[in-house]
Structure 1
Amino acid sequence: MTNALERLQKVIAQSGVTSRRKAEKLIVDGKVKVNHKTVTELGTKVAPHDDIEVNGVRLEKEAPVYYMLYKPRGVISSIQDDKGRKVVTDYLGDISERIYPIGRLDYDTSGILLLTNDGEFANLLMHPRYGVDKVYVAKIKGIPDKRELHRLRKGIRSGDDLLKIVRYKILETDRHKNTMIIEITLHEGKNRHVRRMMEALGYPVSKLKREKYGLLTLQHMQPGDYRPLTPHEVKKMRLLASDKNVE
């Protein structure tokens, strides 16, 4: 029976309500009840049959699920949009669990987007300290030289952000059309990260796709396709984010 016990904040995070850190604050603030009694101790452990309430709402215990979507361009990385635009969960209409995107891709950016109801897993992958590779392919207007591209690694100031990449690789240069296709690897993906960097250099992005996320690729997928992650993939992504000891 002891093996079935888990920390309360972990159970709350896995339910998809919030991150583990925010769950800890809710517990300390007296916003969480276990079996109808307020709990404020962070070390509290609960069993699968325990009744948990967060801010007066009973926690629905769903089995964790993990999906990968090939997000098309022109789709919002959200579960709803007040302007009536298409959102990513429209492509996963037959999923009964309350899933949400891990991070986001811009409206005009396509590629890999992960969705889950496991808040702890989502928080792990989004945290910049873990440095999971996110590989993008960008088509840009203009042909920057190596000196300019080197600035991407050193960092470019944009507003309050210092935007950096991990590495880049030139895939194609078309001097007739004055365009370049470049592969860019990020660890931390801030809002419009790639587009803002290239615009700051004077080379706007005309097309952008995230082709790889950690060990996951878009192989055999078309825009709008989705599939569940395998248990092996989930395990490897956890390892990749937590300690990078992935073979």
Structure 2
Amino acid sequence: MRLDRFLCETTDLTRSLAKKAMHRGEVSVDGEVITNPATQVDERHVVTWHGEPLALVGLRYVMLNKPAGVECSARRGLYPLVRELIDLPHPERLQTVGRLDVDTTGLVLLTDDGQWSHRVTSPKRRCGKVYRVTLAEPLEGQALERAIEGFAEGLLLEGEEKPTRPAELVMRSATEAELTLHEGKYHQVKRMFAAIGNHVTALHRESIGPLALGELAEGDWRELSADEIAAF
């Protein structure tokens, strides 16, 4: 890896600022001041800036229990971003693995491993995502039977050309449902219940594939274990 790129990967310096730092004699490799940005370095070299050793950040895999009022987008809008809750070096490099709406709570995965993210989100892998849904109106009797059947067969949502993939609906109470999806269309849970004449008042994602929130408190996060990463 070029030394200027290494500096960009391990600090907040841009490529141009990294080159200026080298020209000022601020960067050393194995104790020798280096001014050539094209100098090749790897994990065997000790690179320092202002005398402080630098180290590349490896791939990260994070689970977060997202609170309401936090966005999963890459750029800040009206609300804080999920990555701002993660206390790791260069959190700006973490991308959400699928998104939750700003008012939806629960399990969010973040990583800087694009291939792993694709494996988790690809519909072909049928990675089940379980949601706890609070409804405005009770869903009981024949209406419930029709909903279970319709969700299992797939619904054609407004603006879509293909019906939803089969989903499993289980009622915990008259107004609280557990819904398992195997895809991630835009606002899908809310649109599915709207299609059967109901309204979602609260939405919480409990699990993605084999990963569940467990005892992770709202707003807290943790890195995934090697086994959890390999599960996808």
TM over 0.5: yes
- Structure 1 runs (4+) deviating above 4 angstroms are none
Q: 1:108 & 1:163 partners in 2: Cα distance?
A: 23
1:183 deviation in Å?
0.5
Residues matched between the structures, number: 175
Cα RMSD of the aligned pairs, angstroms, is 2.2
Q: Which runs of no fewer than 5 residues in structure 2 stay unpaired? A: 1-8, 10-37, 44-55
- Tell me what 1:150 maps to: 149
For the Cα contact (< 8 Å) 2:57–2:89, is it kept in 1? no
Aligned residue identity for 1:169:
V
**Higher strand fraction (1 or 2):** 1
Q: Which has the larger radius of gyration?
A: 2
For the Cα contact (< 8 Å) 1:165–1:185, is it kept in 2? no
Q: Which runs of no fewer than 5 residues in structure 1 stay unpaired? A: 1-14, 16-35, 37-47, 50-60, 174-179, 239-247
1:165 deviation in Å?
4.1
- 1:1-247 matches, within 5 Å, as 62-81=57-76, 83-96=77-90, 98-144=93-139, 145-161=144-160, 162-173=163-174, 180-236=175-231, 238=232
Q: 2:130 & 2:66 partners in 1: Cα distance?
A: 15
1:210 deviation in Å?
0.5
For the Cα contact (< 8 Å) 1:171–1:181, is it kept in 2? yes
Q: 2:68 & 2:166 partners in 1: Cα distance?
A: 23
- Tell me what 2:29 maps to: none
Q: Return the TM-score normalized by structure 1.
A: 0.66
- Tell me what 1:32 maps to: none
Q: 1:165 & 1:71 partners in 2: Cα distance?
A: 26
Q: 2:214 & 2:222 partners in 1: Cα distance?
A: 12
Report the secondary structure of 1:199's partner residue.
Answer: helix
Q: Return the TM-score normalized by structure 2.
A: 0.70
The sequence identity of aligned pairs, in percent, is: 30
Q: 1:165 & 1:111 partners in 2: Cα distance?
A: 22
